[in-house]
Amino acid sequence: HSGDQIETVQRLIDLFNKGIYPVVRELGSLGASGDLAPLPHLVLPLLNLGEVNYGGKVFYSNEINSLFKLEPIKLKSKEGLALLNGTQFMSAHGVYVAMKARDLMVLSDIIAAMAVEAYNGRIDPFSPELHTIRPHTGQIRTSAAISEYLKGSSLINSDNKAVQDPYS
């Protein structure tokens, strides 16, 4: 029963939905959680302090709050501590990194499919039967993705394939 008031959380949501983002410095951190330097910058705009990015430009928070007729939030007991002493910045950064990793995995599958086609490779190694023998979900998904990208390829499906020793 301690933490942020609904009004504070709603204001953060409203700012985000209006495309108003707190300027949080990329470098500099402190403490065991690692969030004690960036988190104050995240909440300063609620207090009419700090800077925000709006429309691709940096403004002082009080200018944007005035433009949108937003009064500064009056923090309640322990609310400052709840806003500053957490791991929400690290958690958000972790989600961002996971999303980037997912994008890289998709791009890796596309690049692999392009390489198979460019080198006049064979589709046989991506047969689902070969990959379901081992229960590695990532391997199965990657094989299926590469097969899907190569579907309809005139090079891969060509009858002009030179027979190659399967061992090589």
Name which of 16, 40, 17, 19 is nearest 89 in CA terms.
40
Question: What is the rounded average pLDDT of the residues 116-133?
Answer: 88
Given the structure tokens 């958000």, which residue do they identify? 92
- Cα separation values, 143 from 52, 110, 135, 140, 162, Å: 44, 11, 13, 5, 23
For residue 142, give the nearest of 167, 116, 105 by alpha carbon. 105
For the chain, the average pLDDT equals 86
What is the C-alpha to C-alpha distance for residues 55 and 97, in angstroms, rounded to an integer?
Answer: 24
Residue 147 pLDDT: 94
pTM of the entire structure?
Answer: 0.61
pLDDT confidence band for 25 (50 / 70 / 90): confident
In order of 18, 34, 84, 126, 131, the CA distances from 31 in angstroms are 32, 5, 12, 48, 46
Q: What does the pLDDT read at residue 139?
A: 93
**Cα separations in angstroms, 117 against 105, 128, 148, 163, 168:** 19, 18, 13, 16, 18
pLDDT digits (tens, 9 = 90+) for 74-116: 988 888 888 887 777 788 889 999 999 999 999 999 999 999 9
Q: How far apart are CA 15 and CA 13, in angstroms?
A: 5
pLDDT surpassing 60 at residue 1: no
Continuous H helices in the chain: 6-17, 38-43, 61-67, 79-84, 88-118, 128-131, 137-150
Per-residue pLDDT for 118 more than 60? yes
Interatomic CA distance for residues 11 and 22, integer angstroms: 12
